């Protein structure tokens, strides 16, 4: 089978998903014509030289086998996917909101099929279907012993209103601030913010107070560093985001056998359940508009995100204390079940039907 593939290769979430799907295409010995979106950057990964050579050849020879009828996989945002490279094009994307604009609906319908990573998203669009992401095989247990004298909470993902970053931190500090039996490590740098603006954001969250048991970690540049971070924590809080296309950090932590506290909404429901996660029910919704990434009356990303009661999060954190030292076997099994090999098989089956 031959394919045209358009996808980013970088350290962000889209780039990591692209990287893993391309690696599975390589393992399956499927010939592709690769059109990278943006400048390829694999510095966050540790690819084999054979895989890198395959990628380079797929880019170099991409125009030799072009055909209007050749199936195309495009992995990108709805915004920016308003054209076709072939007549048989499938868009693979993620959607976090709940009020698709007419432009977003039209772009989704432009493709033979648009695949979303959750039923929550797919149900809002015509001509769409669902695929599941997988556990990145480069993430693994380090076998190391980290902080054994206190319970270590972790929060990752770029600082955003959508992700409730500020509310999560303030709620944790309300419960555990300056209690050194507990530690919160935050890997929340938003690469789209200037460093000085990021410092102001953190200062605002702390409200001028000093806490002895919160740690802000700089942007982690490689997946191996992220793997170390996820191995070091006991409880992950990243799943309290109010709108996600999947939530890779929380998912990866769960698959590593950690316990994640997860808001039971949007794409979280595709992988988090009462057996492998500590679920918190939403208590309402708030406008998605944040003045930075989600703007009112824009042609894209309109709607609301789910919210939660801070007392419900506190109750979930109290419950997590009893699980902190226990390996999450159900989470580990999740990682063995949801693989990128399975994800590619799902996607290709949809392409064949298109």
pLDDT band at 28 (very low <50, low <70, confident <90, very high): very high
Look at the pTM and tell me if it is higher than 0.85: yes
- Give CATH for domain 2-134+339-353: 3.40.50.2000
Say yes or no: do domains 2-134+339-353 and 151-337 share a fold.
yes
Spatial contact of 268 and 244, defined as CB atoms under 8 Å apart: yes
Mean residue pLDDT across the chain: 95
What is the per-residue pLDDT for 25?
Answer: 98
Class of domain 151-337: alpha beta
**Domain parsing of the chain, residue ranges:** 2-134+339-353, 151-337
Mean pLDDT calculated for residue range 308-330: 97
Residues in the chain: 354
pLDDT class of 352 with cuts at 50, 70, 90:
low
- The span from the CA of 29 to the CA of 344, in Å, is 13
Q: Could you tell me the pLDDT band of residue 53, with boundaries at 50, 70 and 90? A: very high
Distance CA 217, CA 231 (A): 15
Q: For 107-152, what is each residue's pLDDT tens digit? A: 999 999 999 999 999 999 998 999 999 999 999 999 999 988 899 9
User: Cα 151 to chain center, whole Å?
Assistant: 25
Q: What is residue 354's predicted lDDT score, i.e. its pLDDT?
A: 47
pLDDT band of 291, cuts 50, 70, 90: confident
pLDDT in tens, 185-230: 999 998 888 889 999 999 999 999 999 999 999 999 999 999 999 9
Percent of the chain's residues with pLDDT above 70: 99
Instruction: Give me the sign of the Cα torsion angle 272, 278, 284, 289.
Output: negative
pLDDT tens for residues 144-176?
999 888 999 999 999 999 999 999 999 999 999
């Amino acid at each position: 089978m031959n394919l045209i593939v358009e996808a980013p290769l970088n350290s962000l979430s889209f780039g990591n998903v692209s990287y893993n799907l391309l690696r599975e295409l390589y393992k399956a010995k499927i010939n592709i014509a690769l059109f990278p979106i943006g400048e390829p950057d694999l510095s966050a990964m540790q690819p084999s030289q054979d895989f890198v050579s395959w990628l380079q050849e797929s880019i170099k020879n991409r125009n030799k086998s072009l055909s209007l009828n050749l199936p195309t996989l495009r992995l990108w945002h709805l915004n920016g996917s308003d054209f076709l490279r072939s007549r048989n094009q499938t868009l693979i994307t993620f959607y976090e909101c709940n009020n698709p604009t007419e432009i977003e609906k039209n772009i989704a319908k432009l493709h033979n099929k648009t695949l979303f990573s959750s039923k929550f998203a797919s149900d809002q669009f015509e001509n769409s279907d669902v695929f599941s992401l997988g556990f990145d095989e480069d993430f693994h247990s380090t076998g190391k012993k980290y902080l054994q004298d206190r319970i270590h909470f972790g929060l990752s993902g770029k600082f955003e209103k959508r992700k409730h970053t500020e509310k999560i931190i303030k709620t944790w500090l309300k419960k555990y601030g300056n209690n050194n039996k507990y530690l919160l490590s935050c890997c929340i740098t938003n690469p789209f913010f200037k460093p000085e603006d990021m410092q102001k954001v953190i200062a605002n969250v702390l409200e001028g107070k000093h806490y002895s048991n919160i740690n802000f970690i700089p942007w982690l540049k490689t997946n191996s560093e992220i793997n170390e971070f996820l191995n070091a924590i006991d409880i992950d809080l990243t799943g309290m985001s109010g709108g996600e296309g999947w939530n890779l950090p929380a998912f990866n932590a769960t698959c590593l056998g950690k316990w994640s506290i997860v808001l039971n909404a949007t794409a979280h429901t595709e992988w988090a359940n009462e057996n492998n996660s500590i679920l918190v029910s939403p208590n309402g919704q708030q406008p998605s508009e944040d003045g930075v990434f989600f703007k009112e009356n824009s042609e894209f990303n309109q709607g609301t995100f789910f919210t939660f009661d801070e007392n419900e999060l506190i109750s979930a954190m109290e419950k997590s204390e009893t699980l902190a030292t226990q390996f999450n076997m159900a989470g580990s099994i999740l990682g063995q079940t949801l693989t990128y090999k399975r994800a590619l098989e799902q996607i290709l089956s949809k392409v064949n039907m298109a």
